[in-house]
Amino acid sequence: MDSAAPSAARMQVRRLGVDTYQESVVYLNRESALCKSLGFEAQSRIQVRNDERSIVATINVVTGDWLDAFTAGLSDIVWHRLGARDGDQVTFDYAKPADSASDLRSKVFGHALNLPQYERLLRDAIDGRLSDIELAAFIAACARPAFDLKENIALTEAMVNVGERIEWPRSPVLDKHSVGGLPGNRTTPIIVAIVAAAGSLIPRTSSRAITSPAGTADAMATLTRVDLDLPAMRRVVDLEGGCIVWGWRGQPESGGRRTDPRRASARPRQRRATYRERVVEEKGRRRRHTCRH
C-alpha cells in the first residue's frame, strides 16, 4: 500500500461475491493499514476511486482471517460500479460531506425546501452520497403535515430534472397508478395488456416490494424478465405498445460511473403494428380469402 494523498491511500482489491443489493460496501480487515493509519472503522463513509470511476461506500470491518490485511474486499455492486478487476490498486479516502447536508438538516428541523434544494438532495441520493440513516431521516421529515402542495410540486419537479427522462415518438403516452400495498392485487399487468392491445402506448415502470415478494415487478418477474435496460425497454414498447419494467434495473452497469444523472431522448423509429391492428389485419385477410373461394 502506498500513499496517494495526505488523507488517501491505495490498496489492492478483490471481489468477495457478496450481494449487498444497491448499497456500496467495502470490507477491510481490522489490522489493515487503512484502519490503522487512516482511522477507518465500521460504518465509515469513504470515497473509492478506480481510474475515472468514483463512488461513496460504507466500510464493514472484518475480524476474522478470511480477508488479509493487505486487501480490500468489494461487494458485487462496488465491483460493477468501479469496473474493478482482482489485484487492481484502488484509492481510498474519507468521503466529503454531501452538498445537500445543510438542506437535509433544514428539512429535518421542519423547514420547507425549494426546487434547487431538492435537486441537490436527489443528486446526492442517486450518487450514493447519503447514508441509509440520512435517507430515512429525509423520508420521515417529508411525512410531516407541513409538507404542503407547493413543496410536493418542487420535489416532483426535482425528480423529473435529475432522473432519467424518456420521450416517446408518439402520443398519448398513458400510465396507471393505484394506492398499492395490497398483496395479491395485480391490476397493473391486466390494465397494461388491455391498453396496449387497444393500440395506445403504455410504457409502465413498477417497483419491487420492500418487505415481501409481492410487488408488481416481483409478480411480473414470474412470467418474464422485468430487469430491462433502456434500449431493451424501447424495443419492447416499439413492438407491443407497452411494457412492465422494474424501474430502474441498470444500476450495476450504467449507474456505477460517477456522472450526473442522464437523460435519454428517443429517436423516431418506424412504428410497428399493435396486437389489435395485427388481429384486425389477420381477420381481414381471412375474410378476403373466404370470399375468393
| Domain at 140, CATH number | 1.20.970.10
**Same domain, yes or no: 176 and 288:** yes
**Same domain, yes or no: 129 and 171:** no
pLDDT for the residue numbered 280: 64
pLDDT for the residue numbered 180: 66
**Same domain, yes or no: 81 and 139:** no
Three-point CA angle 97, 74, 263, nearest 5°: 60
**Same domain, yes or no: 181 and 276:** yes
Asked which of 122, 144, 162 is the last residue of a domain, the reply is 162
Asked which of 162, 190, 211 is the last residue of a domain, the reply is 162
Q: Which domain holds residue 51?
A: 3-94
**Same domain, yes or no: 116 and 83:** no
Q: Report helix, strand or coil for 81.
A: helix
pLDDT for the residue numbered 222: 87
**Same domain, yes or no: 139 and 76:** no
**Same domain, yes or no: 184 and 276:** yes
**Same domain, yes or no: 60 and 131:** no
Number of domains in the chain: 3
pLDDT for the residue numbered 256: 31
Asked which of 162, 177, 206 is the last residue of a domain, the reply is 162
pLDDT for the residue numbered 255: 33
Backbone angles phi, psi at 204, to 5 degrees: -110, 125
Residues 6 or more apart whose Cβ sits within 8 Å of residue 89: 10, 11, 12, 13
| Domain at 23, CATH number | 2.40.40.20
CA 159 from centre of chain: 13
pLDDT for the residue numbered 186: 80
Q: Is the pTM of this model over 0.75?
A: no
CA 140 from centre of chain: 21
**Regions in the chain scoring below 70 on pLDDT:** 1-7, 180-184, 210-213, 248-280, 282-293
| Domain at 274, CATH number | 3.40.1030.10
**Same domain, yes or no: 146 and 169:** no
**Same domain, yes or no: 173 and 156:** no
pLDDT for the residue numbered 254: 32
For the chain, helix, strand, coil in percent to 5 are 35, 20, 45
**Same domain, yes or no: 277 and 179:** yes
pLDDT for the residue numbered 283: 64
**Same domain, yes or no: 195 and 151:** no
